[in-house]
Structure 1
Amino acid sequence: MKIAIFLLLLSLSFVPSGAVFAQDFYAGKTIRIIVGGSAGGGFDTYSRIIARHMGKHIPGNPNLVVENMTGAGTRIAAKYLFSAAQPDGLAFGIFNGYLLLGRVLGMKGLDFDVRKFEWVGVPVQDHVACALHKASGVTNLKEWQSAKAPVKIGALGPGNSTGDVPRLLGATLNLPIQMVEGYKGTADIRIAADGGEVAGACWAWQSIKPTWTKGLQTGDVNVVIQATAKAHPDLTKVPLAFDLIKNEEGKQLLRAGGLLPSTVTRVYATTPGTPKDRMKLLQNGFSETLKDKAFIAEAEKAKLEIDPLTGEEVAKAVAEMFNIDEGLKTKLKTILTPK
């Protein structure tokens, strides 16, 4: 009997204590998902559906709630997650992955090392396109190219697709553009476009499709260009920026400043220093949620696409971004810095 007890205690001593505590940690807890965009936008829509399903994929079945923390092109949310949130695994969130490029380029307002974030994952890799309201008088790319006055493009600010992609298109395709920045989310930009304040904006088709559905269906909203090298299956008749850029440098600029950050636009991350065992549970829970049949059914109903990256894959993409050629960095900084 004594030998059996000894062997039992010996076997338990080989179970990592952190793993045991992590398994119990989330029981009865609430995890906050901090969303850098406004309610009704793409970041918010993905996050709320994830919140409804992720708890069952984390040991202890915690509750998940969404908190919108808007402003400064999602920098407020990013800064909060980086330095204000406790590194306890009870908060993670989404900010615009274009901020990572902004940090590479040394832009103002990004005074923290984004490489230190703990990466949870990405639910979908963005396919950026520009959608304009017909009230602007621009319904296709030719009309944009020949516009007598700069076309007003709404944006959150620099450091995200709404701010960076139009600037890149303007520089590489000589499109007449007037940036109107300061919106708190793409939902606010849509409202502004519907009201004639701006013509439209450039951001992920994966957000445009489910959130501007009525305008697309009625023909009030038109997608006029894709800032990509390959057409989205939904947009086979819409021109590709890469087909129109005539020189290799222009293509490199759009690739480094648009395509690469667009893969991690919807990045979910948490505070540096979060215990590794809890981090693993969050990463696994996130990945399993994206495979969950009930989640997929709700995502499809909301017209949301799923094309994920794991936390490890995000880390590799971020590392690649920080290895952009110095000459290209200088040119990107010139283009993307607000005048």
Structure 2
Amino acid sequence: MRKDRGWRRRASSCGLVALSTLAVVIGGTAAQAQDVLADHFRGKTIDMYIGYAAGGGYDAYGRLVARFLGDFLPGKPKLVPRNMPGGGGRVLAGYMFNVAPHDGTALAMADQSLVLQQAIGDPTILFDSNKLNWVGNPAADNNTIAVWSATGVKTFEDATKKEVVIGATGPNTSSQMAQLTNALLGTKFKIVTGYPGGNDINLAMETGEVGGRASSPWATWKATRPDWVRDGKIIVIAQIGLTRAPDLPNVPLLTDLARNDEDRAVIKLISAPATIGRPIFTTPGVTEATLRAMRQAFDAMVKSAPFNEEAAHEKLDINPVSGEDLQKIVSDLVNTPKPVAQRLAAIIKSP
């Protein structure tokens, strides 16, 4: 019995020593990986590409991230924002997938709808969203359908009785929401595409060239046009997401307006990208250590006081989604059941 107890004590001691040794090895390996990444990024410039022209919501969030993310990366590299508009974000996403260096020196923020476009088989998508590496999203936020007050349209029902010209950048959510509501909910939106970015559409609304936008995040309206919200120059007639925004309790979700379960399933699919929000991603082929460091840096950044203080100053809502969660959302969307995806694809053809 004594020998047995002695053996157990020695075994326990050996186990503790082994665990301690393993912890030291793992800790040392992690520290060495950080040192390697710090050496890799130190003195480097990371290009932070933004898929739209300056002045809009994507640009505001992209530049905010570019100011702070480098402080949380090993080696503290400098991030330089660069606008690359075109094709509703397709130009940038294709560049990241096919051209940009695969060493972690290129980050991007492109349209949230691109993943959905891949899910419905859009032939203009020349990349695989599942193979892009998703770093995080600083702002999951409902999109809105908003009209200029001078149009006389005050409710969603009004838009089923009166034509409103909708400005759009291209075959993405800016035009697709109007196509969807025309097809399933009876709106009379006339869609005009070709604007370089959201700010250009806003200017067109001011001049009377168009009467509204069919997909602009609620947080972006509050950040970039707070006077329009305050003074009632724009009227939000519907919101696109899976739950209502807390400060839009009386504005219906598109899913609330669906006429049957089949239509609701299609509307729910096109509403899901609201969670993708303002996505940050990098190229295929980056090392696991690099991607892990980027995701950890993003998570630390969105929790930091300086980042949140600056976001509040710019009136940018922060409602982050981690890179790991974003990668799963992307995968789920890409693998949408075919019948639902095919019906949506038939509706949102390029205008």
TM-score above 0.5, yes or no: yes
Residue 106 (1) aligns with residue 118 (2): no
Q: Distance in 2 between matches of 1:210 and 1:263?
A: 18
Q: Distance in 1 between matches of 2:335 and 2:94?
A: 23
Contact kept, 8 Å, 1:242 with 1:251, in 2: the verdict is: yes
Residue 136 (1) aligns with residue 148 (2): no
The letter for the 2-side match of 1:215 is W
The letter for the 1-side match of 2:346 is T
Residue 172 (1) aligns with residue 181 (2): no
Q: Distance in 1 between matches of 2:169 and 2:96?
A: 19
Q: Distance in 1 between matches of 2:341 and 2:29?
A: 48
> Which is worse superposed, 17-26 or 203-212?
17-26
When the two chains are superposed, the root-mean-square deviation of aligned CA atoms in Å is 2.1
Paired residues for 1:181-200 under 5 Å: 181-200=193-212
Residue 208 (1) aligns with residue 198 (2): no
Residue 22 (1) aligns with residue 34 (2): no
Residue 235 (1) aligns with residue 248 (2): yes
Contact kept, 8 Å, 1:229 with 1:241, in 2: the verdict is: no
Residue 328 (1) aligns with residue 340 (2): yes
- Cα deviation for residue 305 of structure 1 reads 1.3
Are residues 190 and 329 of structure 1, via their aligned partners in 2, closer, same or farther at CA, if it must alter by over 3 Å? same
Larger CA Rg, structure 1 vs 2: 2
Q: Distance in 1 between matches of 2:188 and 2:48?
A: 38
Paired residues for 1:33-48 under 5 Å: 33-48=48-63
Q: Distance in 1 between matches of 2:127 and 2:251?
A: 38
Partner residue of 1:288?
Answer: 300
State the SS of the aligned residue for 1:107: coil
Residue 95 (1) aligns with residue 95 (2): no
Contact kept, 8 Å, 1:190 with 1:212, in 2: the verdict is: no
- Cα deviation for residue 19 of structure 1 reads 4.3
- Cα deviation for residue 163 of structure 1 reads 2.0
Residue 273 (1) aligns with residue 285 (2): yes
Residue 62 (1) aligns with residue 77 (2): yes
Q: Distance in 1 between matches of 2:141 and 2:257?
A: 20
Partner residue of 2:10?
Answer: none
State the SS of the aligned residue for 1:281: helix
Q: Distance in 2 between matches of 1:239 and 1:104?
A: 26
Contact kept, 8 Å, 1:27 with 1:59, in 2: the verdict is: yes
Partner residue of 1:152?
Answer: 165
- Cα deviation for residue 284 of structure 1 reads 1.1
Q: Distance in 2 between matches of 1:294 and 1:128?
A: 27
The letter for the 1-side match of 2:232 is G
Q: Which structure 1 segments of 5+ residues have no match?
A: 1-9
Q: Distance in 1 between matches of 2:298 and 2:76?
A: 13
Contact kept, 8 Å, 1:97 with 1:264, in 2: the verdict is: yes
Residue 51 (1) aligns with residue 63 (2): no
State the SS of the aligned residue for 2:238: strand
State the SS of the aligned residue for 1:182: coil
The TM-score with structure 1 as length reference comes to 0.91
Q: Distance in 2 between matches of 1:304 and 1:11?
A: 42
The letter for the 2-side match of 1:155 is A
- Cα deviation for residue 98 of structure 1 reads 0.7
The letter for the 2-side match of 1:21 is V
Q: Which of 288, 297, 300 matches 2:312?
A: 300
The letter for the 1-side match of 2:161 is S
- Cα deviation for residue 337 of structure 1 reads 1.0
State the SS of the aligned residue for 1:15: helix
Are residues 120 and 114 of structure 1, via their aligned partners in 2, closer, same or farther at CA, if it must alter by over 3 Å? same
Q: Deviations over 1:124-159 (max 9, x none)?
A: 112011111122232332321221xx3111111123
State the SS of the aligned residue for 1:32: strand
Contact kept, 8 Å, 1:30 with 1:65, in 2: the verdict is: yes
Contact kept, 8 Å, 1:94 with 1:269, in 2: the verdict is: yes
Q: Which of 275, 279, 299 matches 1:263?
A: 275
Q: Which structure 2 segments of 5+ residues have no match?
A: 1-23
Contact kept, 8 Å, 2:239 with 2:253, in 1: the verdict is: yes
Q: Deviations over 1:270-318 (max 9, x none)?
A: 1100122222221111111111111111111222111111111111111
- Cα deviation for residue 233 of structure 1 reads 1.6
> Which is worse superposed, 226-235 or 300-309?
226-235
Q: Distance in 2 between matches of 1:133 and 1:245?
A: 24
Contact kept, 8 Å, 1:168 with 1:253, in 2: the verdict is: no
Aligned length: 327
Contact kept, 8 Å, 1:229 with 1:243, in 2: the verdict is: no
Partner residue of 1:4?
Answer: none
> Which is worse superposed, 230-239 or 171-180?
230-239
Residue 117 (1) aligns with residue 129 (2): no
- Cα deviation for residue 211 of structure 1 reads 1.1
Contact kept, 8 Å, 2:243 with 2:253, in 1: the verdict is: yes
Partner residue of 1:245?
Answer: 258
Identity of aligned residues (%): 33
Are residues 236 and 24 of structure 1, via their aligned partners in 2, closer, same or farther at CA, if it must alter by over 3 Å? same
